[in-house]
């Protein structure tokens, strides 16, 4: 198995683990992946410039409390250590910026879900307007988002309202194997679903 296949397999396993954990929180009413025929297209987008496309790993709707019926899309990184997370997070921010302008109804919550934190000393800054703008203007993002390599031109095109929206919609969730186990048991989960009148077929 070559490196690309290993990475793909690891990503698929990570998505399955993320789906299982989200489902077991009992706060997700629907969830789908970018490979599913019916809803998968909702997770696919195209960069404004360059003709390339991208997609989020999973999406769906939340249930209960202030989050009830709110949409979410998530990028899943099942890494055991930081690896290239900092660069990939910068790309994730650019993807969120584009996705929100294209399909805002599906972007109530934009989740970076991983098993390893990155740049921990500046973790509290990852969702600030300054960091979001820095990532949008990064050399790997600036042209495909703004259609220019000029920072000044890109700044003139940057939508401050979208940046503000992202600061309120971004989530950074970091799991561990122990946390994956520390959820409601299968028996109690099924009882809760029956109490809520949720059909088992929708799980």
Report residue 7 CA to chain centroid gap.
18
Which residues have CB under 8 Å from 77's CB, separation 6+?
Answer: 14, 85, 88, 112, 113, 114, 115, 116
Q: Kindly give the confidence (pLDDT) of every residue in the chain, 203 residues in length, as a single tens digit, with 9 standing for 90 and above.
A: 433 433 554 578 899 999 999 999 999 999 999 999 889 899 999 999 999 999 999 999 999 999 999 999 999 999 999 999 999 999 999 999 999 999 999 999 999 999 999 999 999 999 999 999 999 999 999 999 999 999 999 999 999 999 999 999 999 999 999 999 998 888 888 888 888 777 544 43
Q: What is the pLDDT of residue 37?
A: 85
Question: Where in the chain are the domains?
Answer: 3-194
Measured CA to CA, the distance from residue 41 to residue 90 in angstroms comes to 23
pLDDT at 199: 57
pLDDT score at 161: 98
Q: Which residue has the tokens 């703008």?
A: 133
Nearest Cα residue to 33 out of 48, 11, 62: 11
Distance from C-alpha of 191 to C-alpha of 163, rounded to nearest angstrom? 42
Structure confidence at residue 201 (pLDDT): 40
Strand order in the sheet with 170-174: 28-33, 58-62, 71-77, 109-114, 170-174
The count of other CB atoms within 10 Å of the CB of residue 154 is 19
Tokens 């050399």 belong to residue? 139
Pairing of strands 170-174, 109-114: parallel
Query: What's the CA gap between 137 and 129, in Å, rounded?
Result: 12
Which residue's entry shows tokens 């390599």?
A: 149
- Dihedral angle of Cα 71, 112, 136, 98, to the nearest 10 degrees: -30
Q: How far apart are CA 163 and CA 96, in angstroms?
A: 10
């Amino acid at each position: 198995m070559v490196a690309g296949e290993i990475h793909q397999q690891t990503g698929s396993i990570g998505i399955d683990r993320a789906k299982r954990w989200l489902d077991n929180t009992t706060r997700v009413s629907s969830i789908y992946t970018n490979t599913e025929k019916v809803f998968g297209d909702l997770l696919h987008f195209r960069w404004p410039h360059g003709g390339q496309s991208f997609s989020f790993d999973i999406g769906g709707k939340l249930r209960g409390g202030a989050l009830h019926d709110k949409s979410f899309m998530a990028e899943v990184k099942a890494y055991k250590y930081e690896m290239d997370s900092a660069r990939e997070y910068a790309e994730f921010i650019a993807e969120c910026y584009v996705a929100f302008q294209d399909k805002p109804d599906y972007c109530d919550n934009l989740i970076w879900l991983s098993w390893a934190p990155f740049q921990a000393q500046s973790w509290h800054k990852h969702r600030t307007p300054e960091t979001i703008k820095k990532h949008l203007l990064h050399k790997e993002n600036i042209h495909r988002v703004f259609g220019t390599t000029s920072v000044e031109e890109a700044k003139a095109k940057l939508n401050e309202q979208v940046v503000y929206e992202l600061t309120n919609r971004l989530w950074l969730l970091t799991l561990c194997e122990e946390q994956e186990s520390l959820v409601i048991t299968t028996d109690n989960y099924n009882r809760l679903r029956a109490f809520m009148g949720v059909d088992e077929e929708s799980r």
